[in-house]
A and B are shown apart, each in its own frame.
Chain A
Amino acid sequence: MITDTTPAPAPAAAAPATPPSPSPSRQGRRSPAAERRRRRAAEVWREFSRHRSGLIGLAGLLIVVALALLAPVLAPSTLLLATEATLPPNQPPSAEAPLGTDPAGRSVLVMLLWGARISLLVGFAATAVSMVIGTTVGMAAGHFRGFGQSALLRVIDFFLVLPSLVLAIVLSTVLERGVFTIVIAIGVTSWAATARLVRSQTLTVEARPYIERAWALGAGHAHVLGRHVLPAVLPLVLANTTLTVGSAIIAESTLAFLGLGDPTQVSWGTMLKTALDTGAATAGYWWYVLPPGLAIVLVVLCFTLVGRALEAVVNPTLRSR
């Protein structure tokens, strides 16, 4: 039987080319996996930290997220109420309001701080919606064959070419106004690119012989998708997510600018909308036009830098150095 086999290994086969650290046989099952994951994480971090622009982006994001989270501590929400405003309207930057005041006499800096919360929230939530749809549809379109596949492909292609902003505009018009509507409108119109990416990665993975081996071992769809395809697709999705958050923030501000935002919430997009509507823009009140726009550019740029660095780490062939 198997145990009786006395191995007579040829010299070259006696040990791994790079011997892994010997581990006690009893715990040799789970702990190396955890250890490996830790090592892999450290490796990813080391690779990532080689991209200076990625590090800058990450630092920028951490600061913005921290500020957004701390907004209630730094500036109480009552400062946002137009009725409570004590400062004169449309005032240039001063000691009390470092970025001046808006047409209602509120501090632009405070609004900027609170606006970050909505912009980031919409960005993240819409991206989550888009990622879930994109990953599911993409994996299904790459995995299954026959009619279902061609139907899914058609749908992906359709949403890929569709003018997504126009559809998002339409959706936000016919649905009830609110943050939730914006999230849905952006989420359901922006998943196709992810789906395409995931599908092509799924096809690449499934063309690998180890999938054939899994089938021959007796695997079912759930096993192949869950154990082999999903882990291979996720890193790419993660990198893609970072890029999508940026686009979602721009989309949010655009919808708000077109007057489709939630009028009860302050976001960077609604600030710009008010600037335009109240004539602040044409009157030369630059302190109300520049900061929200610059904030958007900065945050989107940070997400883009991090996303590109992640992409280069996850898929080195994608963007050869």
Chain B
Amino acid sequence: MTVALQPEDAIREAPGDEAPRGASWPRYLLEKGSGALVSLLMVVVLGFFVFRILPGDPAISLTRGRRVSAEQVEQLREQYGLDLPLPVQFWNYLVGLFTGDLGTSYTYNQPVVDLIASRVGPTLLLTTTAAAISIVLGLWLGQRSAWRRGSAFDRAQTSLALTFWSVPTFWLGLLLLLVFGGLLQWFPTGGMVTPGSDATGLAWAWDVARHLVLPVTTMVAVVYAQYLLVMRASLLEEMSSDYLTTARAKGLKEDDVRRRHAVPNALLPTVTLIFLTVGGLIGGAVTVEAVYSWPGLGYLTYQALGTPDLPVLQGTFVVFSSIVVLTNFAADVLYRVIDPRLKES
């Protein structure tokens, strides 16, 4: 048999048989970075739109539920610059954002930035702890469920996850609070540290950890279920893939087929979905913090609802949304590191 082709042609580049190429790093970063930037801009615009334009007269919303004279309203308008034309207001708002000025809280009479700065830490502690536990638990149980789909283990895990997924976070929080905080008194019922305690070092950490148990458990219960279901679906999708047949044909044990081939592939789409749910995690933080009076951004938001303290709400909204946008940008970068298909050839 002879193939009438030039030898160098025969080896690699047969016509019409070219390998695809991926985008380069700078290009990828530019693309994702500009996307994140646009999102941030949209957060800023939405923040202005929702608080200054949607309510009609922000001064009225500001004073909702309180008896105020027309004079006081007028004074408020002036104080918050609401009497200025909208473009000017928007400009002032932008300048404020870039100089780190988010206005002054109505109730606390403090700069909103300071309030937020003092509350970010506890929220990060709560959400990252809950997220880390949920991810480990959800992914581990999810892949076990999928691999033994239809088994008693799978049925039990899936039902449990679906039930937890259907539970309102705040209600679960209330129940745990009543049973373990009130009835059994195993854990403190609120706050981050025992009031009046001046413990430092390890004792302080232990105190915080005890306060952390119930809020974290509540968040994990609701969040891990999602990850379990996503991981399970994602692995089920991979399980009919041809490369698993190749792995089996190579003589691998079923456990190795799963560990080395199926799970790494199933993890990739799962990671994307996990990062997409960061927004949900923050929503959960608001309710959990409200239930356990955890002194974070969520609790601050909750407290600002009653008044309503619009500058604080605007501030937390912008900060929460920006955190989410930036996390997703980080996720995009991470994703390109772990998925070779996005790398340049």
Contacts and interface: CB of A to CB of B under 8 A. Distances in A.
Contacts of B268: none
Contact of B305 (A165, A258, A304): A258
Interface stretch (B72-80, B106-114, B167-175): B167-175
A87 to B, nearest CB: 24
A175 B51 CA distance: 10
Contacts of A246: 166
Contacts of B177: 281
Contact of A319 (B236, B308, B325): B236
Contacts of A259: 305-306
B321 A162 contact: yes
A297 interface: yes
B47 to A, nearest CB: 9
Nearest to A272: B171
Contacts of B317: 166-167, 170
Interface in B25-50: 35, 38-39, 42-43, 46, 50
Given A272-B171, A318-B233, A320-B240, A161 B276 contact: yes
A166 B283 contact: yes
Given A175-B55, A258-B305, A320-B239, A166 B320 contact: yes
B169 A254 contact: yes
Contacts of A167: 46, 50, 317, 321
B168 A293 contact: yes
A173 B58 CA distance: 11
A189 to B, nearest CB: 10
B267 interface: no
B39 A166 contact: no
Contacts of B290: 257-258
Interface string B221-261: 00000000000010011011000000000000000000000
Nearest to B189: A282
Given A166-B317, A258-B302, A304 B166 contact: yes
A148 to B, nearest CB: 15
Given A157-B35, A169-B286, A162 B324 contact: yes
A227 interface: no
A301 B276 contact: no
Contacts of A160: 276, 279
Interface string B85-118: 0000000000000000000000000000000000
**Interface size class for chain B?**
35 or more
Nearest to A293: B171
A170 B50 contact: yes
A173 B62 CA distance: 10
Contacts of B276: 160-161
Contact of A297 (B51, B166, B310, B321): B166
Contacts of A253: 168, 170-171
A250 interface: yes
A297 B278 contact: no
B282 interface: yes
A148 B176 CA distance: 48
A45 interface: no
Given A260-B305, A320-B237, A174 B50 contact: yes
A160 B166 CA distance: 20
A218 to B, nearest CB: 32
B165 A304 contact: yes
B162 interface: yes
A300 B166 contact: yes
A276 interface: yes
A144 interface: no
Contacts of B282: 163, 165-166
Interface in B137-179: 149, 162-163, 165-171, 174-175, 177-178
23 contacts: A158-B42, A161-B39, A161-B276, A163-B283, A165-B283, A166-B286, A166-B317, A167-B50, A169-B301, A170-B50, A173-B305, A174-B61, A253-B168, A253-B171, A254-B283, A258-B290, A260-B305, A276-B174, A281-B178, A289-B178, A293-B168, A293-B171, A301-B166
Interface of A: 154-155, 157-158, 160-167, 169-171, 173-175, 246, 250, 253-254, 257-260, 272, 276, 281-282, 284, 286, 289, 292-293, 296-298, 300-301, 304-305, 308, 317-321
